[in-house]
Structure 1
Amino acid sequence: MHNLRIFILLPFFILVSSCSTQEAAKKGAFFQWFEYQGRDSFYDENQLMDNEYFNPILSGFYPDPSVCKKGEDYFLVTSTFSFFPGVPVFHSTDLVNWKQIGHVLDRPSQLDITDQEISEGIFAPAISYNSHNDTFYMVTTFVGGNGNFLVKAKDPAGPWSDPIFIPEVPGIDPSLFFDDDGRAWIVNNGDPEGDPIYPGHKAIWIQEYDVEKDEMTGPRKMIVDGGHDISEKPIWIEGPHIYKVNGYYYLMAAEGGTAENHSEVIFRSRNVTGPYETFADNPILTQRNLPNDRENPVTSTGHADLIKFEDGSWWAVFLGCRPYLENHYNTGRETFLLPVSWTDGWPVILEPGKEVPLKVKSSHQLNEKQEGDFGLSGNFTIRDEFEDDSLALYWNFIRTPQNDWYDLEEGSLRLDFRGVTMREKKNPAFIGRRQQHKNFIATTEVTIASPNAGNRAGLVCFRTEANNYFLGVNFEHGELIAFVEKTTIRQGTPEKKRLAMKKTGLGADDSILLRVEGNGAFLDFSISEDHQNWEPLAEGQDASYLSTATAGGFVGTYIGMYAEGNE
């Protein structure tokens, strides 16, 4: 009889155990999909003809571009500051249509950003290819960390090596140049010899790099003091690159700071270590002194890199910004592309007084967009159903994840409820993508499977710990509440301020749609309980609160999925 009782009760225990396991698996916030749609009017109103392309070629927060080539393949990287993984790597065969193929710094052993500010971290990565040992190099600065370092790889898609730090090189913005004889040189921004003679007085230095030993060698030498004309007190000479063309070594660098006075200047010498002469018609790229009321303005242009295409033409990638109001922009510093002309042996990216065009005619045949391109230029719609085993390459974390707090399961993205918030200088349960347009719609579907009062999840527009919006849901007294919050500063500490709230009448097993719509200077937040009809929750919110002009720093706005709570 005892054995019979066990036999009868066994299915019940199996059922209970199965239910318990399923309940445990259902803890967290589940996002069924996420969709981003760009809606800038310029790209709708201007159709591309044959061999035309839109600027920027990488829209959204992709600053400080650096480019190199191997054969007929081109590779480009940009800065990521305190977002992880660090330094996206893109591939192209025509310099216009790019596809991300990985990240340079995708392991915590390479990049452990734990308590850096959002605009610290990885500055100005420079990618180079050394044909003498068939190796790619990326050299950069870890601001707020251990300074300048390089990594290397045989395949730019990775894996890349762990960092090789070069403490002998102070300052920022190192770049590697490989000469015809196989010798390598690092140029970078640093303090001038002696005391600076005015605020922003910097210099460009050069030192040889031993490729065999992976270490610096020989003396350091200052090759540019101040900038193109020190009598004008130019500020922040930085972002240097060296090129060898027709027996000359050309040194190009940014100057004027990263705001509206940003520019690019050029020097040349018969010897890699100088002395360098300055181009009489510098700068070779800037948008300063142009009318503020011009249509479709691009500002803050600079931090360029040059590349020679296979047909012999020269091109420049550089950063710029697209403001929607005065100098407010949420898309951050973006990557643009323009052809380079040569005048009396000097390269010019854009003649003085000319505006950066948003539509450009290429001198060579452009290819079709690469398979797997997830939208980088013009208007596009990207929808992620979370059906793959890993996150798409455009998703990022805030700082380096220290543990596993997310999972992809059964066609959804699950985020754990953690006691870490986006208002702290930590690694919250946030997975976001760049805002790439002035006008956009971002939508997601979310279910809270752990209906505790402190568990909150939804969409976040994030700029810094102190500048963000949260369209979220949580349970209060057993009811699903939708709300909009804005993070503000009180007595020096970020805290949440509720802007709107609505009781939905939905239960723990019900999903809700959340939508944020950006229209230049304004943000509209809305919800859909029935997945068909939209109900405004907070309209006309100040988007400039997320802009560089208001929030400061060097990054752009991220939009993504977020959870915080007690489990």
Structure 2
Amino acid sequence: MIKKTTVLLCGLLLGAISHAQATDSASSATQQEAVAEFNWFEYIGKDRQFASELPDRTYQNPILPGFYPDPSITRKGEDYYLVNSSFAYTPGLPVLHSKNLVDWQLVGHALTSENAIDFTGLELSRGIFAPTIRYHDGLFYIITTAVDAGGNFIITAKDPAGPWSSPIWLPEVGGIDPDLFFDDNGKAYIAHNDAPPEAPLYDGHRAIWLWEYDVKQQKVKAGSRRLLINGGTDIAEQPVWIEGPHIYHINGWYYLTCAQGGTSVNHSQVVFRTRSLTEEFVPYQHNPILTQKDLPREKQVVSATGHADFIQTAEGDWWSVFLATRPYQDDHYNTGRETFLLPVHWEDEWPHILPPGETVPLTPRRPAIAPDINTKQPLARNFSWRDEFSGRRLNPLWISVKDFARDWVSLSNGVLQLHPQTASLRDLGGVSYLGRRQQHQRFTARTQLAMPASDTAAGLAVYQNETHHYQLLLSENITNDAKAYQVSLYKVSPTGKALVAQKTIDKPASAVVLQVDVDGSKAYFSYQQDGQNTPLGEAQDARHLSTASAGGFVGATVGMMALQADNQSTH
């Protein structure tokens, strides 16, 4: 009896263990099924502006088309390095390299999972604002602002490709857009935008302040704060949004150049100078030295110029990088604020970038420093870019939203896997999305994906921000017919997520291609199954993806997304 009971208990115990293992396996299988698999992604730029051959010894403006705003530049020997604002995209602070100021290649990011800053809960246009990059005494420095995520900080690196240090926070330094200036006498200074010394006299009244910075102690010197500019070039005229300061010491003069007028159509670049940082900065009587605001709107092929930084080549020539936009149809632009390049000319010991009333040239003469460079990852002109996901690491051009960890991404045997999270692109975090910058007003983007499991919806997104984007999704048919799938097009706006068009695929297939074609103000969505292309819905309004419609400071991205199928209609 005892033996029978023991055998029975052992059997029950083994049964329970087997049942638990089976349950765990089933749970594991379910978790494994919650994945979207993409075989490749392709982006093809088709801008008419970039279609013709460049005249001899010229280059194309913008040098960095697409969402590359607030450029800052430095030089080490014959190598130039540039960094841009990244806001709440991750990884943050893209670092680019060039030998000739014209052809640039992404070499890394200064903010990665190793020195991440928490962007949880931020809107997309918060986070990292206008950085400054400088090379000094064997070390690269980036100083910038994490808006609503800690304030101003400095990071350093021996190699600009990384790794970069953990943030050195500057709690005393308020405001945004800090600049780091190393003087010839061994001293260092931080200039930045902040509130004026008194209550603001008008909307947009700001000021530029200066601190002395102790490089060894890695902190500002107590009591060193002083006012440089109150309001702007002439406070009696109520100039607005003085920001983006940079200081240079050239031929006995200290020059301070700033953006003024806001980053829209009134954006401009102004300059001041003084013989000593302890004396008053005097504004140039012929300011601004760069703007397009004085041109009729119909002639503004390029608009919103400003946020300039200067660089001197080894040959002694001066150049400026700055942001600008390429608008269409009354100042709409989906490509965001882009990086442009122009020479700096000196007259009466004052810098000039562009004479008043002149349009920004799109094909200026090249710098006389280096030949063309064939980059592996083209960032300018028309190009075709295809990712087969064949490497062990994700291509650095892919960016995501507020998430440095990316534990929802995996690469396996030439397949990109996205594991859907609980949130989607309408939320402020926890979204499974990988995008690349829209760099052309006219482009095609497409991706091939396997048929997702019943608990997953996946596809293509054209994304401006949380409240302005399109989703083209593939999922199982809501009738739960295992042999049927549906392709759905959604438009996300401030009022919610609306179904625009939907079609059922009647037979199973191994893979489907989802595609978007954008031509200025129009976006066309389609899908391809068994080699046949099928449009989905009518032409959509691409102005919905523009900064003029969505607000904020970012440009549109296009890429791949995954979400839980039961959240498809609401997320």
TM-score by length of 1: 0.92
Deviation digits for residues 467-495 of structure 1 (CA, Å, limit 9, x no counterpart) = 110111100122110111111333xxxx3
CA contact (8 A) 2:115 2:164 kept: no
Q: Which amino acid aligns with 2:96?
A: F
CA drift of 1:362 comes to 1.6
Rounded to whole Å, the distance in 2 between the matches of 1:20 and 1:341 is 67
Matched with 1:459 is 460
Report SS of the residue matched to 1:328. coil
Report SS of the residue matched to 1:550. helix
Matched with 2:470 is 469
1:1-400 aligned within 5 A: 27-44=34-51, 46-107=52-113, 109-131=115-137, 134-217=138-221, 218-294=223-299, 297-372=301-376, 374-400=377-403
Is 2:519 aligned against 1:519?
Answer: yes
CA contact (8 A) 1:206 1:220 kept: yes
Rounded to whole Å, the distance in 2 between the matches of 1:322 and 1:388 is 34
Q: Which amino acid aligns with 1:77?
A: V
1:53–1:366 CA distance, 2 compared to 1 (3 A):
farther
CA contact (8 A) 2:422 2:430 kept: no
Q: Which amino acid aligns with 2:465?
A: T
Matched with 1:552 is 551
CA drift of 1:451 comes to 2.7
Deviation digits for residues 434-484 of structure 1 (CA, Å, limit 9, x no counterpart) = 1101000001001134233xx210000111111110111100122110111
CA contact (8 A) 2:101 2:367 kept: no
431, 436, 441: which one pairs with 2:444? 441
Q: Which amino acid aligns with 1:429?
A: S
CA contact (8 A) 1:418 1:566 kept: no
Rounded to whole Å, the distance in 1 between the matches of 2:447 and 2:406 is 25
CA contact (8 A) 2:88 2:123 kept: yes
Rounded to whole Å, the distance in 2 between the matches of 1:201 and 1:403 is 40
CA drift of 1:110 comes to 2.8
Rounded to whole Å, the distance in 2 between the matches of 1:484 and 1:361 is 45
Report SS of the residue matched to 1:42. coil
CA contact (8 A) 2:95 2:107 kept: yes
1:404-443 aligned within 5 A: 404-443=407-446
Rounded to whole Å, the distance in 1 between the matches of 2:489 and 2:286 is 52
Rounded to whole Å, the distance in 1 between the matches of 2:510 and 2:349 is 67
1:230–1:210 CA distance, 2 compared to 1 (3 A):
same
CA drift of 1:325 comes to 1.2
Rounded to whole Å, the distance in 1 between the matches of 2:203 and 2:27 is 65
Report SS of the residue matched to 1:266. strand
Q: Which amino acid aligns with 1:284?
A: I
Q: Which amino acid aligns with 1:188?
A: H
CA contact (8 A) 2:153 2:169 kept: yes
CA contact (8 A) 1:77 1:87 kept: yes
Is 2:485 aligned against 1:486?
Answer: no
Q: Which amino acid aligns with 1:248?
A: W
Which 4+ stretches in 1 moved above 4 angstroms?
Answer: 17-27
Gaps of 5+ in 2: 1-23, 567-571
Rounded to whole Å, the distance in 1 between the matches of 2:111 and 2:291 is 31
Gaps of 5+ in 1: 1-16
Give the stretch that moved more between structures: 327-336 or 198-207.
Answer: 198-207
CA drift of 1:538 comes to 2.2
Q: Percent same amino acid among aligned pairs? A: 45
CA RMSD of aligned residues (A): 1.9
Is 2:500 aligned against 1:499?
Answer: yes
CA drift of 1:137 comes to 0.6
CA contact (8 A) 1:285 1:352 kept: yes
CA drift of 1:496 comes to 1.7
TM-score by length of 2: 0.91
Rounded to whole Å, the distance in 2 between the matches of 1:551 and 1:447 is 32
Rounded to whole Å, the distance in 2 between the matches of 1:506 and 1:58 is 44
Report SS of the residue matched to 2:364. strand
Q: Which amino acid aligns with 1:396?
A: I
Q: Which amino acid aligns with 2:270?
A: V
| Number of residue pairs the alignment of both structures matches | 538
CA drift of 1:25 comes to 5.3
1:506–1:434 CA distance, 2 compared to 1 (3 A):
farther
CA contact (8 A) 1:331 1:556 kept: yes
Give the stretch that moved more between structures: 380-389 or 269-278.
Answer: 269-278
Q: Which amino acid aligns with 2:209?
A: W
Q: Which amino acid aligns with 2:533?
A: W
